[in-house]
């Protein structure tokens, strides 16, 4: 048995200016920004959810700008297999997570646990 839940949304931005993109989305959503350390901070910026329920990040990308969601899980392989049974397809593995595509065409990611209260909020799957 494994657990999973909606982790949050990633705002993919095809731009050379992470700071400007982050400033826009921070103001638009009324969320403070937090720079991420090291190399991660050159590609991602975190927006702070006042309720701390969702992870919202601005990400620099090479593809068209869009918003995608992340599904957080304590067993990536089990969750990917569960989603494949529902019709999703694996597209590419990046570091520790999978980019997948829903049967309806949307891309999303299956990522490892980040939420400190994950066990209380996640749903169990066989």
The string of DSSP letters for 7-26 reads EEEEEEE-SS-HHHHHHHHH
Question: What's domain 2-116's architecture?
Answer: Roll (3.10)
Looking at per-residue pLDDT, the higher value among 52 and 71 belongs to: 71
At a CB cut-off of 8 Å and minimum separation 6, what does 7 contact? 54, 55, 69, 70, 71, 72, 111, 114, 115
Predicted TM-score (pTM) of the model is: 0.78
Q: What is the per-residue pLDDT for 94?
A: 94
Residues of the chain above pLDDT 70, percent: 99
Q: What is the per-residue pLDDT for 2?
A: 94
Domain boundaries, the chain: 2-116
DSSP class of 37: P
Residue 117 CB neighbour total at 10 angstroms: 10
Looking at per-residue pLDDT, the higher value among 54 and 26 belongs to: 26
């Amino acid at each position: 048995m494994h657990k999973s839940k909606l982790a949050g949304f990633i705002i993919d931005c095809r731009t050379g200016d992470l700071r400007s993109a982050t400033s826009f989305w921070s103001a638009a959503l009324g969320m403070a920004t937090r720079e991420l350390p090291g190399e991660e901070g050159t590609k991602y910026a975190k927006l702070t959810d006042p309720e701390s329920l969702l992870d919202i990040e601005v990400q620099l990308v090479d593809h068209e700008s869009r918003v995608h969601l992340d599904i957080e899980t304590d067993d990536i392989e089990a969750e990917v297999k569960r989603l494949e049974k529902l019709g999703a397809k694996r597209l590419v593995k990046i570091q520790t997570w999978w980019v997948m595509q829903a049967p309806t065409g949307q891309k999303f990611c299956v990522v490892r646990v980040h939420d400190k209260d994950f066990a209380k909020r996640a749903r169990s799957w066989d």
